[in-house]
Structure 1
């Protein structure tokens, strides 16, 4: 699958991959900050943003999407960074196509299984009646009973296109069907440890990458280093954009 991309800057290519329910534009602050010394290629993963919808959504398949998209752009070897779902996709690509990856930064996720899920969020989004004239306020009110946090409601509603034909940009049915794959981690077919430089950048206030993840990280990324961003939770690039940008610039040599 060829993914939708947003590009800016000149220099060696650097690919950015967003998290679940996100899109390339959600990483705009990183794209702009890194584009001074790199050709930043931010991608919409399958079933997100302006990319096509389709199953499956296992990480081997999503990594292959990224590789196919890079090949279609004539790009052979890249620096790579991904957050959450995009981080798992980035890991899968590094493990299966190491010749394409110079170095990889994984933001607040690890190659382990996660127990949380967003099934209730998906169900609440699907339950909204998409009628002409639907307003954002109506949609937010419909989500409020299930999605308690206002920032999360706003994040999810970024995917809602209003107007005469309201619709979701995200493939909600596909995401719903693929949730078990996205929460799990199974080494993708052909995976080998990635021996290049790897940065696991985490939010100090996040619970996504605890000490229990160390063994899994070392098994697959023997040269990995870990770094925490103080005062940041899972969406570290939103909580502390300047600090995350500094860490990525240093790691990527920009």
Structure 2
């Protein structure tokens, strides 16, 4: 699959993968602070952003999508970073194609399995009457009936785009994501292993990377370290951007 992507900056190549319901744009403000140090590739994963939609959606094919993109761009070996779902894709890619990853940074996700926990968000997204929407404000009002947190609604509404008739549409493949949401939480395969330098960067206020995950992380990534960003939850790049930027620079430099 030919993935949509954005490129900017100069220097060693750093590829960044967004999380569930997101897109490359989620990392654009961070990327602009890194463009003097890296050649950045911000990727829309399949079924997200401007990339194609497909009924096949799992980490194996998402890793293959990334390999195809790097081939097309002529990048044999890169720095790789992913957040949440993107972190799972990055882990899968690094263990499938270890020769193509110089260093790996995983943001606020562990290699373990996660239970389905996006039911309220999916209910809210599916409740929005996209075909009859008159404005984004109306979409926010419909979403608010299911999701009270304004910040989460603002993030989700970034996936609301326009179609060729100037009407609204979801840029995510909502039917497939809803049907196959369990794929997002799947664990890294038992035999998966990446020997290269790896950093797990968790949010101190998030429970996505727990103390008991350390042994599993070391099993899959024996040359890894784990740090926590203070005063940050799961959306650490939005909550503590300066700390995230400095961590990225320090690790990949």
Q: Shorter-chain TM-score: what band?
A: over 0.9
Cα offset, 1:57, TM superposition = 2.0
**Equivalence for 1:165:** 167
- Specify the alignment match of 2:184 in structure 1: 182
Q: Distance in 2 between matches of 1:130 and 1:235?
A: 26
Name 1:211's counterpart in structure 2.
211
> 1:61-120: per-residue Cα shift (whole Å, max 9, x none)?
111111111101111100001000000000000000001100000000000111242133
Question: Gapped runs of 5+ residues in structure 1?
Answer: none
Give TM-score scaled by structure 1 length: 0.95
Match of 1:63?
63
Instruction: State the shift of 1:133 in Å.
Output: 5.4
Deviation at 1:32, TM superposition (A): 1.1
- Counterpart-to-counterpart distance in 2, 1:209 and 1:186: 14
Whole-angstrom distance in 1 between the partners of 2:192 and 2:223: 13
Shift in Å, 1:151: 0.5
Q: Which runs of 5+ in 2 are unaligned?
A: none
* 1:57–1:182 CA contact under 8 A, matched in 2: no
Aligned to 1:106: 106
Q: State the Cα distance separating 1:201 from its structure 2 match.
A: 0.4
SS at structure 1 position matched to 2:183: helix
Cα distance change on mapping 1:133 and 1:234 into 2, 3 Å? closer
Range with greater deviation from structure 2 (136-145 or 157-166): 157-166
Please say if residues 14 and 41 of structure 2, whose CA atoms lie closer than 8 Å, have aligned partners that are also in contact. Answer: yes
Listed as ranges, the matches of 1:73-152 within 5 Å are: 73-131=73-131, 134-152=134-152
**Cα displacement (A) at 1:132:** 5.3
Q: Which residue of 2 aligns with 1:14?
A: 14
Query: CA-to-partner distance for each residue in 1:4-30, whole Å, 9 max, x for gaps?
Result: 110001122110000111110110122
Offset at 1:161? 1.9
Provide the residue aligned with 1:3 in structure 2: 3
**Deviation of the 1:200 alpha carbon:** 0.2
Q: Give the Cα–Cα distance (whole angstroms) in 1 for the partners of residues 192 and 77 of structure 2.
A: 18
Would the aligned equivalents of 1:231 and 1:240 in 2 still touch at CA under 8 Å?
A: yes
The CA RMSD over aligned residues, in Å, is 1.5
**Post-superposition offset of 1:184:** 1.7
CA shift in 2, pair 1:137/1:38, >3 Å: same
CA contact (8 A) 1:5 1:44 kept: yes
| Paired residues for 1:241-252 under 5 Å | 241-252=241-252
- State the aligned residue count: 251
